[in-house]
Amino acid sequence: MKVLVAHSVQDAEFAGTFLTLLCDVIGLDAADIGSSSPAHAADPPSARAVSLAARAPVTIKILSKYSNQPQSRGLGGAEEPEASSPAFVATVLLDGLSAKRLPASQGRVTVDGSSSFALEELFGHIAGRLEVSHALDLPPHRKRIEALAALARGRSGQHGAALRARLATLLGATAVLVTLATYAWLYPPWGHGRLEFEDEAHGFSSSSEKPSAVVGLDRSDSMARRGRHSLELELDLDGSKPELASAEVWMDLRQQPNVELAHHKVSAWVYAPAQAVGDPEHPNGFQLFVKDEHWRSQYGAWVNAVPDEWTLVELVVGEASDPGSTDAGFDATLVTTLGLKISVGGGSNAIYTGPIYVDSIDW
């Protein structure tokens, strides 16, 4: 016999469940596991101590409120193994018993039987002692749930209700975490861009002069890089007409709290449907730009539109980019406007009427 589980008569139901866990979680053969209670003991305590130590390299004692003294809970005081004994003693506490009430011993591992985490530690010790190679091969969360579920089924009355409540709490907390993670992905309040378009368009506008290549802009749920909304720009680009060969949209940064862009990288994601790319040999493209309070500008590097993909467009405010342009006297510390320019590719007469989408603007 490799494992002996000693328990009081009142704890027989839990002991049975514990024996099942030894088989199912650790993978021990049922023939290698035995149990013992005072009601079944006929040998004198001293004789039983020698016999049990010789037969069982692992001895587990289950202690609960039904036992009188720690030294006699399941086994008599004379049965307490010496530190040099080959027996490995583990103690499982039930009903909120405190480990401080037990005598300290280097050969003892004490765990709270109502905690699946502690039971995993105990199973690990047992498996290591017995060199069970396939022990604890279940994913951690599954082990914890299965251990708690088994204990809840095995204990009756108030203790079983408490364990079932712990199981419900564990499953409920897991469901809450999954829900929060999903919500944060669909409706990101942080980390996916300083400006998202889930609730508003953040004051983006375009020139009121006509003709204009921007014929409309608003929030849209047709396309989004994060969440469910983006800023949709309805365009009417025509490379053969200078006044329609490019379009600009912008926002007033003074409406945003505590914005300081000098020497900061600004980025935005732009989605272009395949038709919005224009001439593949001279593709349409995007540039981020900023303007200071005197309306002097800095334009970032040109980025080609990519069909049916989100494209990252970037600008480091106050630092020259090539290709790009900066007006003389531009002051990066006085930036008040942030915008996006959309242009027909150089040397192209491409025409595009339709939307592009902007999302996840960050700095």
CATH number for the domain that contains residue 264: 2.60.120.260
Residue 314 within any structural domain of the chain:
yes
Do residues 142 and 271 both lie within one domain?
A: no
pLDDT at 324: 86
Query: Which tokens in the block code for residue 318?
Result: 């106050």
pLDDT at 147: 60
Do residues 216 and 277 both lie within one domain?
A: yes
List 271's β-bridge partners, or say none: 310, 357
Do residues 209 and 358 both lie within one domain?
A: yes
Strands 58-63 and 3-6: parallel
DSSP readout, 297-358? EEE---EE--BTEEEEEEEETTS--SS-EE-TT--GGGEEEEEEEEEPPTT---EEEEEEEE
Residue 267 within any structural domain of the chain:
yes
Strands 108-112 and 88-93: parallel
CB atoms within 10 A of CB 61: 25
Do residues 209 and 151 both lie within one domain?
A: no
Last residue of a domain, one of 155, 174, 192: 155
Residue 178 within any structural domain of the chain:
no
Last residue of a domain, one of 118, 138, 155: 155
Separation CA 31–CA 28 (nearest Å): 8
Do residues 211 and 299 both lie within one domain?
A: yes
Do residues 127 and 251 both lie within one domain?
A: no
Domain range for 94 is 3-155
CB atoms within 10 A of CB 362: 16
Residue 183 within any structural domain of the chain:
no
Do residues 288 and 219 both lie within one domain?
A: yes
Do residues 291 and 356 both lie within one domain?
A: yes
Do residues 140 and 43 both lie within one domain?
A: yes
Number of H helices, E strands in the chain: 5, 19
Residue 200 within any structural domain of the chain:
no
| Residue ranges in the chain whose pLDDT is less than 70 | 1, 25, 38-56, 68-86, 96, 100-101, 103-107, 114-117, 128, 130-164, 183-193
Residue 161 within any structural domain of the chain:
no
* Number of domains, the chain: 2
Do residues 144 and 215 both lie within one domain?
A: no
Residue 182 within any structural domain of the chain:
no
Residue 195 within any structural domain of the chain:
no
pLDDT at 192: 42
pLDDT at 122: 79
CATH code assigned at 147: 3.40.50
Last residue of a domain, one of 124, 155, 186: 155
